[in-house]
Amino acid sequence: MKNTVFTDKHIALGAKMAPFAGYNMPIQYTGINEEHATVRESVGVFDVSHMGEIWVKGPNALKLIQYVSSNDASVVYPGKAQYTCFPNGKGGIVDDFIVYCIDAQTYLLAVNAANIEKDWNHICSFADKFGMVVGKDLYNASDEICQLAIQGPKAMEVMQKICDENIMDMEYYTFKKLTVAGIPQAILSTTGYTGSGGCEVYVANEDGDKLWNAIFEAGAEYGIKPIGLGARDTLRLEMGFCLYGNDIDDTTSPLEAGLGWITKFNDIKGDFVDREFLLSQKEAGVTRKLVGFELVDRGIARHGFNICDAQGAVIGLVTSGTMGPTVKKAVGLGYVNVPFNKIDSEIYIDVRGKLLKAVVVKLPFYKK
């Protein structure tokens, strides 16, 4: 099991640690609900150093990214980030990830921790097609980079105190290379998975301690706290954001998962992995869709529970579920057969043999 550069800090702070994606990670410190509220109301810091970073460089960098991803990366200019996914060639998803355009021939891909090796092998399998050299044009830097996500309505105010240029007017899904906490060439991006604003910062592992200490010193007046992966999950679920391995995987298409908005079929995008399959699926329509739902009856839906109709026939499966700490409701995501995906449809969650009524609602659950 791997450690991040911040593992000793988590342990010293009394975090409850557990294995996650091959890493020893903090699940919670003082409690999921309290940590969740900290991010919604002020500012919290997540160690997301377990995430992967892959460099794609050279004159054919964009061509490769266009071919292996579903979104149109041609619109991503220097300083802009884009959410996208890798179709797997079989109608499913290898991973969802963020692509950062450093310049016309340099891109950084931020991928999920559990999928680093799978993603790397997938990308490298197309290297010859685009005349790219593995280890040079394609480089896996995952073990060299640490990352902190500073999230919440006060996050940017905290970070401005330790940045050498203005970051307060940065738009969503943009980034800058700047000096943070005296660390030159850090990447600060206005991304995150909480729905409460903030940023994510990438630096070399050797600069991790300096970054952590500076952030917590700058955030002391705002009551900044470290946040575990438990609250990260409840925060993202309140926003209806997909979690790879739960809501999307190698068996789910982006169109089924409501990710049609990152699946482009225009002429500039051109050909890409699974293009014909996904286009035919779009034209014919999918038979199941990922929906958000709220429990009407008392109870909590959990990953793997069956979703049924009023007669008890199985019509789908819960992929994520929790009691939303901010929305104060039991909410969840799951795939259901069409037409049960329509807003206000009544569905039933099979909780240990008891059918609990739920209703399909428009995402996100949390609205500012």
Domain with CATH 3.30.70.1400 in the chain: 52-140
Fold annotation for 287-361: Elongation Factor Tu (Ef-tu); domain 3 (2.40.30)
Instruction: Please enumerate in sequence order all residues whose Cβ is within 8 A of that of 326, keeping only pairs 6 or more positions apart, or say none.
Output: 36, 37, 40, 238, 366
pTM, full prediction: 0.96
Tens of pLDDT, residues 277-300: 999 999 999 999 999 999 999 999
Domain with CATH 2.40.30.110 in the chain: 287-361
Question: CA–CA separation, 182 vs 189, rounded Å?
Answer: 17
**Does a cis peptide bond (omega within 30 degrees of 0) precede residue 339?**
yes
pLDDT, residue 287, reads 98
Q: Widest CA span of the chain, in angstroms? A: 63
Confidence of residue 368 (pLDDT cuts 50, 70, 90): confident
Top CATH class, 52-140: alpha beta
Tens of pLDDT, residues 212-247: 999 999 999 999 999 999 999 999 999 999 999 999
Instruction: Please enumerate in sequence order all residues whose Cβ is within 8 A of that of 72, keeping only pairs 6 or more positions apart, or say none.
Output: 66, 264, 266, 268, 269
Mean pLDDT, residues 317-325: 98
Tens of pLDDT, residues 178-215: 999 999 999 999 999 999 999 999 999 999 999 999 99
Top CATH class, 7-51+144-238: alpha beta
Domain with CATH 3.30.1360.120 in the chain: 7-51+144-238
Percent of the chain with pLDDT over 90: 100
What sign does the dihedral 335-240-24-184 (CA atoms) show?
Answer: positive
Task: 315-318: list long-range contacts, CB under 8 Å, 24+ apart.
Answer: 315/340, 315/347, 316/288, 316/340, 316/347, 318/349
pLDDT mean across residues, the chain: 98
Asked if 366 and 324 touch (Cβ cutoff 8 Å), the reply is yes
